[in-house]
Every structure is written in C-alpha cells, then in structure tokens.
Amino acid sequence: MPDQPTVSPLPPLPPALILAGGLGRRINAPALGALEKPLVPLGGRPLIAHVIDRLRPQAGPLFINANAPAGTYEGFGLPVLPDTIAGYPGPLAGVLAGLDHLAETGAAASLVTVAADTPFLPDDLIARLTERYRESGTVVCAESGGQRHPVIALWPVAARTALRQSLEAGRLKVGLLLDTLNAVTVSWEGLPDDPFFNVNTPEDLAIAEKRLAARQ
C-alpha cells in the first residue's frame, strides 16, 4: 500500500475578546432605560449576541471583558474577564485583562479584540488579521474608509508589557499605544456598508436595524 501523504494540522484559531466596556456606557434613549450598551436589543437580540455570532465561526475560545455586576453577561455562556487595572481606565485595560489571562494560562500567543457594539464584523476578520500578523510580527488593527479602528485588532501576548506601562503612566489612548508599537493595519474597502459600524446613538441603532433587516 502506498504511503499516505502527510497532512499538516491547521494552526489553532486565535481566541477573541469582546470588549463590553468598563463603565457600562448606555445609549441615551428613554425606551432603553438603564441597559448597558452591549445588551441593547438589535433585531430582538442583544448587540453583543450579534458580535458573538460573527466571531464564533472564525475564532478560537471567546471571552467577554466587562466590569458589570456579577451575572450581567452570564446568559451568553462565555468566561467574563474583568479589568486587572483599577479605575476603569478604558479599553486598554480590557485588552490587558485578556493578554494577562492568556499569559497566565499559556492558552495562546495572540488575542483578537473587538468592540461589543460592532454587530456587522466581516467574516474574514480574523483570517486577514492573522495573515498580516504573520508578515509583520506586531499588533495589527482593522481599517475601513481610511479610518483605523484601534480596538479591533490582533495583539501578541508579548505586547502586554508595553500596554501595562502605558496604562500605569496614564497614557490611555489606544491609538497612541499602537503608534508606539509600530502597529500595522488591514483595510476593508469597496464594500457597500462599513463592516465596523458601531452603535453609539439611537440613530445608529435605527441604521443597524435597517441593515440587519436587509440581510434577512
């Protein structure tokens, strides 16, 4: 019997962390009451549920970064990682929480982060970020319409030292850290709609409802 060809195993998919916010930001709409923004309904389901749906086929293990009261995100069946830096200093603290978790568990060498209010993430997000990371060896973030999306990125675990130093020095802007780390971008252009559209206002939510309805 002839020898069977050797098939190299596919590399594991990187884990992804959904940044659900440190201060529980809300959309200013009376009908939504005190709902945290990731829990605002879109098409009858929480915003964050759509983000999970977009990530699940293309990522490894999923995590949520949140500092909300215990049980707030329990229904999504994902581990919740709170900030490891006190004071809710912003999304960088969430990224650091994810990188710290991977460093402590040895689960992976890189982490993809996305915002919890981006329900239309592209199907090829992680594949393209990973490909660019293999070429560059540094942080890779998404770009569309000439605009960089700093929190939608792939981070090597090794970046956590610089990230922690930035937070401890009070440098909280993600974009500034990306520049320090010589981050590169992957651009999504020529699409009918921005795949990184995020929901911040009642008007944004109405636009998202129309986009979602058009897809169904």
Which residues does 64 contact at the CB level (< 8 Å), separation at least 6? 17, 18, 20, 48, 73, 76, 78, 79, 80, 81, 116
Beta-strand ranges (E) seen in the chain are 16-19, 41-42, 45-46, 62-65, 80-81, 110-115, 140-144, 147-156, 184-188
Q: Is residue 10 part of a domain?
A: no
The pLDDT score that the predictor gives to residue 216 is: 75
Q: Is residue 179 part of a domain?
A: yes
Number of structural domains in the chain:
1
The pLDDT score that the predictor gives to residue 159 is: 96
The pLDDT score that the predictor gives to residue 145 is: 93
pTM, to two decimals: 0.91
173: CATH: 3.90.550.10
Range(s) of the domain holding residue 120? 16-215
The pLDDT score that the predictor gives to residue 15 is: 98
Q: Is residue 9 part of a domain?
A: no
Cα–Cα distance, 111 to 20 (Å, whole number): 16
Q: Is residue 6 part of a domain?
A: no
Q: Is residue 62 part of a domain?
A: yes
Q: Is residue 93 part of a domain?
A: yes
Q: Is residue 33 part of a domain?
A: yes
Q: What is the pLDDT along the chain (216 residues), one digit of tens a residue?
A: 455 555 445 568 999 999 997 554 656 555 555 688 999 999 999 999 999 999 999 999 999 999 988 899 999 999 999 998 888 789 999 999 999 999 999 989 999 999 999 999 999 999 999 999 999 999 999 999 999 999 999 999 999 999 999 999 888 889 989 999 999 999 999 999 999 999 988 999 999 999 999 987
Contact 110, 155 (CB under 8 A): yes
Q: Is residue 77 part of a domain?
A: yes
